[in-house]
Amino acid sequence: MLHLDAVAHSIPEPVLPPKSLNSQISGILRATQPFLDTDHDWILQNIEVLEQQLSVYDALLDRIDKVRSGIQNRRDTVHRFMATYSSTLAPIRRLPSEIFRAVFREVQLSLRRNPPEYLFPLKEPTALHFSQVPWELSRVCGAWRDIILSYPQLWSRIVLQFGRCRPAKDLRDTIPALQTMILRSVQYPLDIVFEVGYSEIEDAAIEAFPVILEESYRWRSIE
């Protein structure tokens, strides 16, 4: 703080025109005093002095902005560390992984019985919705993601609904995601929902079907 105080005291004071000139400027602006040819030179001289001072202040402000940005970055780093350390004290951190798995599974079963509309939006959906439980919950935090990735049962229910979407776009998003879900389900029995709503995207559905057909020996149910 002492260094900052020293910097503040070192900032030059503005050198302004004398009051006598200010009164003349006021008179010219208010048209109570005529603008003479001789006024032109002294006005330009004062403008030049003021512009030079502006350049100095602008340079100081640029430097201050850079210093402030550096301070802000360091503060943000400290804040991130503080938030990380503080989060370890949250009561939820003391729950065992088994409790989380049970809750996640119950959420999945509940949504399976009563799926909310936002899971399956009508406006240009993709065939495999990333709002399905394992995708959605794994984005909450690293701890939840680790638990979900190590819980094959959550990935064993695969819902494919081919709706009003462009086939190329649909396959580009769907096939890799489908393969990922199958991989993460390990060898757990699969419950599959496979729906084709419109004939114009049947080709996309046909290309996706072999991916789950390869795992037919694991099918527990298919709709």
For the chain, which residues make up each domain, given as ranges? 2-87, 93-222
Is 17 in a helix, a strand, or coil? coil
Is 220 in a helix, a strand, or coil? strand
CA dihedral 46, 47, 50, 56 (to 10 degrees): -130
91-122 per-position pLDDT tens digit: 888 889 899 899 888 888 887 776 655 444 44
Share of the chain above pLDDT 90, in %: 21
145-180 per-position pLDDT tens digit: 999 999 998 888 888 777 655 555 556 677 888 888
What's the CA gap between 198 and 165, in Å, rounded? 10
Q: What is the pTM of this model?
A: 0.58
User: CB of 127 within 8 A of CB of 165?
Assistant: yes
Is 16 in a helix, a strand, or coil? coil
Residue 11 DSSP label: S
The 3 state secondary structure assigned to 90-125 is CHHHHCCHHHHHHHHHHHHHHHHHCCCHHHCCCCCC
Query: What are φ and ψ of residue 26, in 5° steps?
Result: -65, -40
With left for phi above 0 and alpha for psi between -120 and 50, is residue 31 left, alpha or beta?
Answer: left
